[in-house]
């Protein structure tokens, strides 16, 4: 097998964002673009030479081609063993599971998560370390630095690998193992949850569910686990066949994009439980009959009920949430005497806390939750957690959540996204907010007194690393909050996210509509940031 050394020049735009390098497919197809980034991984992660690499993606357009390219480069860079999900597929949490289970040196995951796919859509690549988690900033920084100076990459002149047949092939000295993409993950779920109880729930004839795989990666996982292993009726999984462009849709499980599912969970014939996952299977949305569970509440409910679930019955070591996520879980932690950490946005910040055994559960407002079972957020895991809970508590989703509010208080929550705004206007807006911070504490805005105002910085309690500039926080003395940050995952212009939260401990006021409750805070937030005059937008693009 002939190793080829190809000359190349650096691209200036390969800095990984919140979750790896994400760009339009056409950019990834620029000659040498993908190869430069991959070689930069091999150049900086030197233990991959002679080691084991896991490889898989969410199946979007360009996935198969990129997998072939990376396998050849892995072989040319001396990787001893490449473990690849069948057909080049692995959901992000399944990749994390496989990286950990087989004690590998890490993995490359091809995904642009919930961003649309297809020739005009997005593509992405990220490296996960041996703990199964997204590379921390030190690692992504080194990879990025390497992309700025790269002058050559190594690959092989070889025939294509057969990605569809399970088994081992060799490519020069390298063993390429094509594995079942679902089996290891399904086995892990069976360890954590009481499958027998859930089977009884489905078998009772009293319970109906739909899971929307949004034409993305979780289709095969959900069909096997829900329909085959747990006995849910055939057809429980909708949009279950993965397609390269997600059926032309936007595979993001929220009230806007998962509208087909929302319709099935609404009205007099609504199902009892509905859930969806995103392009690469790490996000989740939970719905009851005519009832939406905010991701922040979902995390809090899981923490409060973990003792009912087999895999967590021994207790939680602590919990964590990303900074913009509502403080609902903080209330649970306080009541249960658990440590609670506030981290910057992005799953990579949970990694050290999970590895150090300081937390068991964690989550983000952006439809992500997970635990120490892997080092990624995990969509189907959250769905199974809820199913298990419904099976043991014998209550509806709505009853469980409302009971939770009565006990712990309710954190009303909403997020307003302004997508595709001018990048310069966005950074000016953030700079403007920054100038207001010093004078805000102690002032009263529409009856809310500001307790603190800052640009969030985080010191990792495990390794002491500091991450600054993680978003503007304005906290009021009544517990409500406004948070502003710019997205780190978009591929066009800038996206401003405004996160709003208001606390309510009076049970008589907890069942009001979120939009009405949040209106005053929305007003404060839009005026303070001068959103309309600075971005030209009167309304957000998406409200979740």
Residue 419 CB-half CA count within 13 A: 9
In 3D space, the residue among 133, 504, 503 whose CA is nearest the CA of residue 343 turns out to be 133
Q: Pick the catalytic residue: 91, 113, 243, 298?
A: 113
Which range touches ligand G1P (CB under 6 A), out of 82-90, 171-179, 341-349, 523-531? 341-349
Show the binding pattern over residues 339-378: x = contacts Zn ion (CB under 5 A), - = does not.
Answer: ----------------------------------------
Q: Which lies closer to ligand G1P via its Cβ, residue 288 or residue 363?
A: 363
Specify which residues 81 forms β-bridges with.
Answer: 52, 175
Which range touches Zn ion (CB under 5 A), out of 270-278, 332-340, 415-423, 444-452? 270-278
**Least distance CB 112 / Zn ion (angstroms):** 9
**Least distance CB 98 / ligand G1P (angstroms):** 20
Interatomic CA distance for residues 115 and 137, integer angstroms: 22
Reduced DSSP (H G I as helix, E B as strand, rest coil) percent helix, strand, coil of the chain, to 5: 35, 25, 35
Residues 84-143 that bind ligand G1P (CB under 6 A): 113
Specify which residues 450 forms β-bridges with.
Answer: 476
Decide if 480 is catalytic.
no
- Give the largest CA-CA distance in the chain: 73
Q: Which lies closer to Zn ion via its Cβ, residue 134 or residue 344?
A: 134
* Residue 39 found at the interface with ligand G1P (CB under 6 A): no
Provide the 10 A C-beta neighbour count for residue 358. Answer: 18
Interatomic CA distance for residues 256 and 258, integer angstroms: 6
* Residue 544 found at the interface with ligand G1P (CB under 6 A): no
Of 8, 18, 152, 402, the one binding ligand G1P by CB under 6 A: 18
In 3D space, the residue among 305, 60, 284 whose CA is nearest the CA of residue 193 turns out to be 305
**Least distance CB 415 / ligand G1P (angstroms):** 9
**Least distance CB 275 / Zn ion (angstroms):** 15
Asked if residue 351 lies in contact with residue 131, where contact means CB atoms within 8 angstroms, the answer is yes
Alpha helices per DSSP H over 80-209: 92-101, 137-147, 183-192, 195-203
* Residue 284 found at the interface with ligand G1P (CB under 6 A): no
Residues 521-540 that bind Zn ion (CB under 5 A): none
Q: Which lies closer to Zn ion via its Cβ, residue 280 or residue 330?
A: 280
**Least distance CB 32 / ligand G1P (angstroms):** 27
Burial class (CB in 10 A: 0-12, 13-18, 19+), 497: buried
Query: Two tokens at 57?
Result: 């993606």
Of 366, 371, 467, 480, the one binding ligand G1P by CB under 6 A: 366
Which range touches Zn ion (CB under 5 A), out of 105-113, 143-151, 168-176, 237-245? 105-113
**Least distance CB 544 / ligand G1P (angstroms):** 10
In 3D space, the residue among 64, 34, 62, 290 whose CA is nearest the CA of residue 147 turns out to be 34
Query: Two tokens at 301?
Result: 């409910």
Of 14, 19, 77, 96, the one binding ligand G1P by CB under 6 A: 19
497 binding partner (options ligand G1P, Zn ion, none; Cβ < 5 to 8 Å by kind): ligand G1P
Which range touches ligand G1P (CB under 6 A), out of 26-34, 178-186, 453-461, 484-492? 484-492
**Least distance CB 33 / ligand G1P (angstroms):** 22
Specify which residues 238 forms β-bridges with.
Answer: 212
Of 184, 364, 372, 378, the one binding ligand G1P by CB under 6 A: 364
* Residue 113 found at the interface with Zn ion (CB under 5 A): yes
* Residue 344 found at the interface with ligand G1P (CB under 6 A): no
**Least distance CB 216 / Zn ion (angstroms):** 9
Query: Which residues, in sequence order, are CB contacts of 42 under 8 Å at separation 6+?
Result: 48, 49, 73, 74, 77, 79, 154
* Residue 345 found at the interface with ligand G1P (CB under 6 A): yes
DSSP string across 207-253: --EEEE-TTSTHHHHHIIIIIIIS-PPTTSEES-S--TTGGGS----
**Least distance CB 280 / Zn ion (angstroms):** 4
Secondary structure in 3-state letters for 444-468? EECCEEEEEEEECCEECCCCCCEEC
Asked if residue 224 lies in contact with residue 186, where contact means CB atoms within 8 angstroms, the answer is yes
280 binding partner (options Zn ion, ligand G1P, none; Cβ < 5 to 8 Å by kind): Zn ion
**CA 365 remoteness from chain centre:** 10
Number of residues that bind Zn ion (CB under 5 A): 5
In 3D space, the residue among 216, 218, 221 whose CA is nearest the CA of residue 242 turns out to be 216
Which range touches ligand G1P (CB under 6 A), out of 335-343, 344-352, 354-362, 379-387? 344-352
Show the binding pattern over residues 181-220: x = contacts Zn ion (CB under 5 A), - = does not.
Answer: ----------------------------------------
520 binding partner (options ligand G1P, Zn ion, none; Cβ < 5 to 8 Å by kind): none
Alpha helices per DSSP H over 102-162: 137-147
Positions touching Zn ion (CB under 5 A) are 113, 278, 280, 282-283
Positions touching ligand G1P (CB under 6 A) are 18-19, 113, 322, 345-347, 364, 366, 368, 487-489, 497
Residues that are catalytic: 113
């Amino acid at each position: 097998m002939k190793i080829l050394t190809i000359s190349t020049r650096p691209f200036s735009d390969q800095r990984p964002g919140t979750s790896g390098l994400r760009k339009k497919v056409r950019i990834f197809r620029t000659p040498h673009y993908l190869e430069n980034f991959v070689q930069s991984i091999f150049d900086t992660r030197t233990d991959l030479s002679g080691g084991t690499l896991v490889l898989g993606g969410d199946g979007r357009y360009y996935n198969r081609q990129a997998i072939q390219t990376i396998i050849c480069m892995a072989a040319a860079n001396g990787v001893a063993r490449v473990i690849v999900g069948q057909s080049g597929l692995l959901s992000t949490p399944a990749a994390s599971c496989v990286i950990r289970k087989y004690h590998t040196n890490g993995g490359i995951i091809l995904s642009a998560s919930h961003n649309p796919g297809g020739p005009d859509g997005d593509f992405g690549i990220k490296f996960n370390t041996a703990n199964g988690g997204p590379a921390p900033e030190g690692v992504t920084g080194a990879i990025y630095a390497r992309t700025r100076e790269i002058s050559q990459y190594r690959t092989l002149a070889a025939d294509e690998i057969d990605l569809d047949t399970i088994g081992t092939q060799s490519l020069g000295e390298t063993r390429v193992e094509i594995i079942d993409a679902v089996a290891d993950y399904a086995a892990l779920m069976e360890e954590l949850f009481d499958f027998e109880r859930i089977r009884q729930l489905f078998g009772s004839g009293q319970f109906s569910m739909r899971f929307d795989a949004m034409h993305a990666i979780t289709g095969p996982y959900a069909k096997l686990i829900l329909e085959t292993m747990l006995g849910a009726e055939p057809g429980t999984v909708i949009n279950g066949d993965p397609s390269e462009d997600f059926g032309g849709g936007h595979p993001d499980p929220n009230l806007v994009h998962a509208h087909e599912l929302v319709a099935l969970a609404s009205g007099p014939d609504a199902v009892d439980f509905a859930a969806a996952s995103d392009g690469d299977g790490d996000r989740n949305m939970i719905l009851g009959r005519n009832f939406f569970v905010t991701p922040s509440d979902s995390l809090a409910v899981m923490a409060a009920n973990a003792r009912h679930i087999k895999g967590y019955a021994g207790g939680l070591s602590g919990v964590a949430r990303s900074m913009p996520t509502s403080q609902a879980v903080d209330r649970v932690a306080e009541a249960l005497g658990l440590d609670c950490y506030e981290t910057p946005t992005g799953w990579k910040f949970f990694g050290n806390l999970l590895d150090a055994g300081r937390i068991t559960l964690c989550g983000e407002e952006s439809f992500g939750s997970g635990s120490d079972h892997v080092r990624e957020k995990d969509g189907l895991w959250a769905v199974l957690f809820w199913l298990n809970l419904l099976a043991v508590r014998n209550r509806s989703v709505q009853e469980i959540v409302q009971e939770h509010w009565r006990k712990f208080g309710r954190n009303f929550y909403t997020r307003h996204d302004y997508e595709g705004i001018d990048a310069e206007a966005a950074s000016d807006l953030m700079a403007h907010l920054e100038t207001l911070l010093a004078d805000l504490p102690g002032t009263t805005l529409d009856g809310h007194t500001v307790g603190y105002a800052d640009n969030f910085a985080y010191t990792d309690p495990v390794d002491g690393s500091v991450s600054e500039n993680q978003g503007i926080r304005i906290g009021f003395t009544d517990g409500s909050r406004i948070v502003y940050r710019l997205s780190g995952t978009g591929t066009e212009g800038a996206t401003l996210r405004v996160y709003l939260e208001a606390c309510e401990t009076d049970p008589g006021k907890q069942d009001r509509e979120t939009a009405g409750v949040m209106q005053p805070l929305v007003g404060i937030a839009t005026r303070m940031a001068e959103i309309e005059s600075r971005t030209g937008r009167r309304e957000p693009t998406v409200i979740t």
